[in-house]
Structure 1
């Protein structure tokens, strides 16, 4: 049986927006959609699930739907569901959440502990659809973004859109170089940033030859480079490393920044 895409619902408008996004995503990948509602109460569960099922059915009538209500902690229930899920999809804030830009504690906990990709559906309607035709993926030096790059290629393939692969870097502080030496020359003392990007893209590009790729090397903080690129994107993809000696993932400053402030949906993809 095909594993489902799982979306968390809690009755908030944000979670219904996540249902809309998840229904379209399930249709693209031809996977079933499962709606999960975790609650400590009993009386409102049927109404919450009923409204979400109706919304999903209208958005993607061909997608097989199922639902489950669990009377337990929401973050724990979602992380457990993610052990056998295509991906987990969440709204950017739940009931009682801030009306601003901050992601709630459930979203952060799920993004930090899930074994599968976690998509936090952020932004206005123009970013939650396919208006821009771009997916952005952040590429870092090392192995932390390998699975994220493959995920981003697959998304670009099914959406028939362009993939923008962006690698941000800063000159080595301990190697000032000669007066007037450019930042690129300084970075060349280590691993050239263009090489970092080329190495990360080589294998997935061969696997998905039809995907149009724009590779971009940007000097400056990674969080700013990714947030700037996300302003014209339908989806922003970032990777997350496993933490040595700890359960869960390492959600660093960059991941926290994009999860709280990105203008479009964000996919956090754990390193395999």
Structure 2
């Protein structure tokens, strides 16, 4: 039997990364998966041959080893049943974590690293990795101390787009809800473009009803293969998708959205909706790659 792929966490000693460790330890316990804690930094670029006293290692490497050891103790204390491994990689963190995503069940980061100026804004590492990760990526946000909170709302929210059939994000949402024993709320936002409105009294409201009906049909298509053993709720909401999903996140334990991956395209592959919820969600966000 092949070895189970681990849940990988990018750690750097910051409070957001410690919350990510807590969240990932809980998730690893629920899934019965190993946990891998990774610190990545290209410290040679900044330190050259500078060594820590009495150790003979670059001081950044000493710090990194201390960070992953501390994170491992924290994860073990929280979830002693989880198998934990650590690694320190002398590489750019964006590159290292994207590579790690190729052999992970999920990749987890905090909102920002030690150099972040404001946690309300997503750090550049998490944002870059979210745009390239090959596995579901979780950005743990929603708290303002160094503790990950136990899920309390009892629901998972997933946003669906115009072409939801066969959505990896929807499948992930139902799998996650089954593990947690909670329902899935499937949300489809819709808007009526301003140029389609009319002042004719007999036609008033017709364009809006058409767009709403299309949203309902998209939502039904997303649920056509939904498992019967997981409770689901449908929500069709008028408004900008990012705003609708951010609002839904306030009463959710997890917000899940898809991100299209285009072969041969090397730019950030997130989309406006995923980018927006990563910055403003009130709960942890999962970006699920949608491959063609």
Q: Which interval holds the TM-score relative to the shorter structure?
A: over 0.9
Residue 220 of structure 2 is aligned to residue 198 of structure 1? yes
Selected match of 1:21 from 23, 26, 34: 23
Higher mean C-alpha deviation, range 11-20 or range 246-255:
246-255
Deviation at 1:45, TM superposition (A): 1.6
Residue 180 of structure 2 is aligned to residue 156 of structure 1? no
2:32 corresponds to: 30
Deviation at 1:184, TM superposition (A): 4.2
- Structure 1 spans left out of the alignment, 5+ residues: none
1:91 corresponds to: 110
* 8 Å contact kept, 1:145–1:239: no
Q: How far apart, CA to CA, are the structure 1 residues paired with 2:72 and 2:119? A: 27
SS in 2 for 1:211: coil
* 8 Å contact kept, 1:120–1:267: yes
Deviation at 1:46, TM superposition (A): 1.8
Q: CA RMSD in A?
A: 1.9
TM-score calculated relative to the size of structure 2: 0.86
Residue 292 of structure 2 is aligned to residue 255 of structure 1? no
1:181 corresponds to: 205
Deviation at 1:185, TM superposition (A): 2.3
* 8 Å contact kept, 2:37–2:72: yes
Deviating above 6 A after TM superposition, structure 1's stretches of 4 or more consecutive aligned residues are none
1:209 corresponds to: 228
Q: How far apart, CA to CA, are the structure 2 residues paired with 1:250 and 1:225? A: 21
Higher Rg = 2
1:111-146 CA deviation, whole Å, 9 max, x = no partner?
001100110000127984211101110010115981
Q: How far apart, CA to CA, are the structure 1 residues paired with 2:184 and 2:249? A: 12
TM-score calculated relative to the size of structure 1: 0.92
1:139 corresponds to: 160
Deviation at 1:192, TM superposition (A): 1.7
* 8 Å contact kept, 2:140–2:285: yes
SS in 2 for 1:44: helix
Q: How far apart, CA to CA, are the structure 1 residues paired with 2:92 and 2:188? A: 37
What is the count of residue pairs matched by the alignment? Answer: 267
